[in-house]
Amino acid sequence: MSPKDAVILGFVEGFTEFLPVSSTGHLILTAHILGLTHNDFTKSFEVSIQLGAIMAVFFLYLRRFLTDFETWKRIIVAFLPTGMLGFLLYKFIKGYLIGNDLVVVISLFLGGVFLLFADRWCERFCNVDQVQKMSLSKAFVVGLFQSLAMVPGVSRSGATIIGGMLMGLNRKQATEFSFLLAVPTMLTATGYDLYKSYSQFNLQEFHLLGIGFTVSFLTAILSVKLFLRFVSAYNFLPFGIYRILVSFLYSYFFLL
């Protein structure tokens, strides 16, 4: 991997992390296009640069993180399923799922279908206009949806947004809760992966991680702002269709 590759992957991660399109799937696809081998470092790089995008959310929502205790309670409850399952399934996920093209294609397609369904559902039943009004039991269910994103291609953001809408949150609130829930979830995931892998990295690889982190952070700040503006005015129909189209393109170029 070259510094140029790290910049491109950092941009893709920062732009797609909070969109319901699967940043992991797009990173794997981009790595294919760049001709990168999916070795242990590449897998860790794809996980670790997510930290840059997560720090962007922490930066943008710092005041809310420091003052909104009711939202924090729901974040903690929603984090529990992913935290427990991620710890138990870490070796299986990294060893067999990350880098598996067929898994990504199926996840992109099914995620697109479910996103279209949840968006239609939301037009009739999404009437909760504040995260603090969502019950703790429903927050836990949203966390169960987020845990599905351990499968590459599902999209953590997409799964959490779908779960939030099915639990009654309107589009904007489901999206913001997805942003906020990403902080403890991805901090834990990336921190654990770096803890398990950092001793295997050389100085050049740490340099590449730094480049990817920085680009991801800056890109994610812009992406979050633009995405919130979009969902405040429109629906998720374009993202559902996009996921389905990408799954077919991915299949054509890399599986057939």
Per residue of the chain (256 residues), what is the pLDDT tens digit? 788 989 999 999 999 988 888 787 788 778 878 888 767 777 777 777 888 888 898 889 888 888 888 999 999 999 988 877 766 665 666 555 565 678 888 888 998 999 999 998 888 888 888 889 999 999 999 999 988 887 877 888 889 999 999 999 999 999 999 989 988 887 877 777 666 666 667 778 788 888 988 999 999 999 999 998 898 888 899 999 999 998 888 787 777 6
**CB 17 within 8 Å of CB 23:** yes
User: In the numeric block, which tokens belong to residue 150?
Assistant: 């351990």
* pTM of the predicted model as reported, rounded to 2 decimal places: 0.82
